[in-house]
Amino acid sequence: MVLYDFSLKRSGAIFGSDDRSVNVTAVENCVAGREILLMEAGLHKSELTFDYPALAGWRWPAVEIVGQRPGPRLAIIAGVHVNETSSIEAVIRLQRVIDPAKLKGRISIIPIVNLPAIPLRSQYVCPLDDKNINFSFPGRPDGSFSEAIAHALLNDWAKDADCFADLHGGDLCEEVSHFMVVQRTGDQAFDRRNLEIAQCFDAEIIASIDPSHMDRPARSVTGRAKRGQHAAFAEAGRIGLIEEANVAYHFDGLLRLLHNFGMTDHAPAKSREAVIITRYHWIPAPVDGFFRYHIEPGQKVARGTLLAIAENTYGEEIARVTAPEDGHILWRITHALSPRDSFIVGLGTKD
């Protein structure tokens, strides 16, 4: 069994002379002109390029795992934030364990999206435009690097994917719970299927966000929803560390996702059912301060629960941060020093 290979020229820059450089924008032109090459079943390494001005000169290491039998396509990205290493480790492990002889369909992987952030381990943003790729979807073909790569991922690379999985979790100053983000659209059948996809991951919390998020640039799961396409958005990790529990959350979730789409025959069992929240609160620091936190990610809190105490550099209390509503802690900042109005806690609540 073979599936389509859109390789245009040989490249040995990273993966050796037997691997290929793939121009994904040109792939769309090949499809339109019905000039299609065949890819044999197996694991194929490549470098991807996109024909958008802001992306000129950049090449993304990528992997295609092509099954012996036809089936759906799952597109997976990690490294939108390069310090969230638990997610990157999970997609590297996935490459090692999937047997193409037992796979139905095709798995496409870009292990690290935000390549410009690697040299300085930039937190949150792409240093080329100081924008957060995570909140740039669906992107713009004529935009800056973050906007252009968001557009390229959804409109070129994963255009025909049956599901798109975006893995995150735990930048250098963060600790996050095991949670998922689901974009509601108002279409009951679509939203129900998106929730089923999120439930493939053994999450503590599922944040089912309001359709109003679709009115502005947002996460990949929102960009996919605007296209009427399904996606999974997973969070787990802390302070740039590779820790087994967080890697396993992502890795096992992907295995369940593959099984859910009928691409594999087996998947690991889950250990819990997630709490579903419908509102996502970004709680800011009320002052410049040295913050001492009193909660942990995943914790259930009541309205008025003490989240953090801010002190000055003399150790004097200058402010308190409390929960505005009953809810669950999605994440918190780990660094004690936070400037006023920077976000320090994520809180999920119900309508």
* Residuewise pLDDT in 10s, the chain (351 residues): 222 232 322 233 333 334 456 666 544 433 322 233 468 999 999 999 999 999 999 999 999 999 999 999 999 999 999 999 999 999 999 999 999 999 999 999 999 999 999 999 999 999 999 999 999 999 999 999 999 999 999 999 999 999 999 999 999 999 999 999 999 999 999 999 999 999 999 999 999 999 999 999 999 999 999 999 999 999 999 999 999 999 999 999 999 999 999 999 999 999 999 999 999 999 999 999 999 999 999 999 999 999 999 999 999 999 999 999 999 999 999 999 999 999 999 999 999
Closest CA to 15 of 40, 39, 42, 48: 48
Residues 192 and 307 in one domain: no
Residue 266, in any domain of the structure: no
Structural domain span for residue 291: 279-349
pLDDT of res. 39: 82
Closest CA to 176 of 110, 81, 91, 303: 81
Residues 164 and 300 in one domain: no
Residue 234, in any domain of the structure: yes
Residues 215 and 285 in one domain: no
Residue 315, in any domain of the structure: yes
pLDDT of res. 5: 31
Burial grade of 243 (CB within 10 A; 0-12, 13-18, 19 or more): middle
Is this prediction's pTM over 0.95? no
pLDDT of res. 24: 64
Residues 154 and 288 in one domain: no
In the chain, how many domains are there? 2
Residues 135 and 255 in one domain: yes
Residues 65 and 194 in one domain: yes
Last residue of a domain, one of 208, 226, 260: 260
Last residue of a domain, one of 260, 290, 320: 260
Residues 245 and 316 in one domain: no
Residues 7 and 101 in one domain: yes
Residues 93 and 49 in one domain: yes
